[in-house]
Amino acid sequence: MYLADYHTHSTCSDDGHNTMTEMAAAALSAGLHEICLTDHLDVVTWLGDQVREHSWRAAVEQFAAARAALGSRIKIQLGVELGQATEDVSRANRFLDDAPPLDFIIASLHNLSWEYGRRDFCTVEEADEVFARRAIGEYLDEMLALARWGRFSVLGHLTLPLRYFNENLGMHMTFKGFEEQVAEIFKCIIPAGRGIELNTNRGHTPLPDEPILRLYRDLGGEIITLGSDAHTPEYVGCAITDRQALLRACGFDYFATFDRLVPVYHKL
């Protein structure tokens, strides 16, 4: 079975800890055939501040170093995790226009709405179900706007708020009741040739999990990548094989990797 981790972070992300070469070495020792580095590039920071400038220089240098060191032994691709693009589309477009040739673009949302200060979901400290459901609804409205924008390969960790409400705050939130909003997003991206990722969430509950994966498949969704969201070497490749089995169980026959933004399909 072909094994690829399509969501990893290096020191080119503010919350990364290891170089691209170290992350690629971890992928090689985990038995992967391919790794894509998808460092954060945000239009809005986790505190809700606007990001004015971005330099690709460190990513370009680290990527060249990783390929020079290990490129003959493992396929290494350059991607990006673009955060909050619809907050300022012209800035997001500029960031991408200035980019080196990218293989893959994850479009993500990490922040609450402006009503809650535009802070990252990871900063929420109250386990309040009414608030959580409202925040999820607003998150999905923004996700639909992102889907309509369309300058990405996949939508990242579609059920991300659950990571924080459930794993951090011990709640038991689901996306039950939000299926129509999610379906609208899928009906936008599927005909446009865009996909979603199955974020293995470093071995925790996959984002999204089975009901949403089945909905995507039922609506004709075929483009799906697998990524660990590793920020350190020990999580590179985490739960990829298990989640390939989950995709098979949900009716998928293929998963995708990307070359210069074009999907490449691999049998599951």
Burial class (CB in 10 A: 0-12, 13-18, 19+), 111: buried
Nearer to Zn ion among residue 5 and residue 81 (C-beta)? 81
- Strand segments, DSSP code E, in 14-111 are 34-42, 75-83, 104-108
CB of 199 to Zn ion, least distance (A): 8
CB of 154 to Zn ion, least distance (A): 12
CB of 170 to Zn ion, least distance (A): 21
CB of 81 to Zn ion, least distance (A): 5
What is the contact surface with Zn ion in residues (CB under 5 A)? 81, 108, 229
Cα separation, 4 vs 27, whole angstroms: 9
The tokens for 182 are 């999610």
**Under 8 Å between Cβ of 19 and 58:** no
The tokens for 125 are 């400290």
Cα separation, 196 vs 215, whole angstroms: 12
Nearer to Zn ion among residue 34 and residue 42 (C-beta)? 42
Total residues found in the chain within this entry: 268
Nearer to Zn ion among residue 81 and residue 87 (C-beta)? 81
Nearer to Zn ion among residue 69 and residue 99 (C-beta)? 99
Nearer to Zn ion among residue 96 and residue 219 (C-beta)? 96
Nearer to Zn ion among residue 80 and residue 213 (C-beta)? 80
Cα separation, 261 vs 105, whole angstroms: 7
CB of 56 to Zn ion, least distance (A): 18
In the chain the first and final C-alpha atoms are separated, in Å, by 7
Cα separation, 95 vs 202, whole angstroms: 28
CB of 191 to Zn ion, least distance (A): 25
